[in-house]
Amino acid sequence: MHILTVLYHHPDDPAAFDKYYESTHAPMVGPIPGVKSFTYRHCSSMDGTTPPYYLIAELGFDSLEDLQGGMESDAGQAAVADVPNFAGAGVTMFVAHD
């Protein structure tokens, strides 16, 4: 399993970010070929301080080839192109695998 992890930095307007993410961006994941799982969740810290990220999204693929193919597809490229529309604070991405 290969997991594409997207770490969203803290937005200036969390409510607007959440609305856009849930209604527009998250639905863009479904059409990406090869996606086996998709989750996203908000971050909090254990000590009450501001965590380094606002939201974490994880897209699971069976293999690196499936991940690359999915993200290179029209649907994958559309999702990537959409990120600047709502994530002005930036993102950090990486791939984890077993």
Distance CA(41)–CA(19), nearest Å, equals 14
Q: Given this model, what pLDDT does residue 66 score?
A: 98
Average pLDDT estimate for 61-70: 98
Distance CA(34)–CA(43), nearest Å, equals 26
Distance CA(3)–CA(12), nearest Å, equals 27
Structure tokens that stand for 90 in this block: 């930036």
Mean pLDDT of the chain: 97
Q: Which domains does the chain have, with CATH numbers?
A: 10-97 (3.30.70.100)
pLDDT tens, 34-47?
Answer: 999 999 999 999 99
Q: Given this model, what pLDDT does residue 23 score?
A: 98
Q: Given this model, what pLDDT does residue 97 score?
A: 96
**Model pTM score:** 0.93
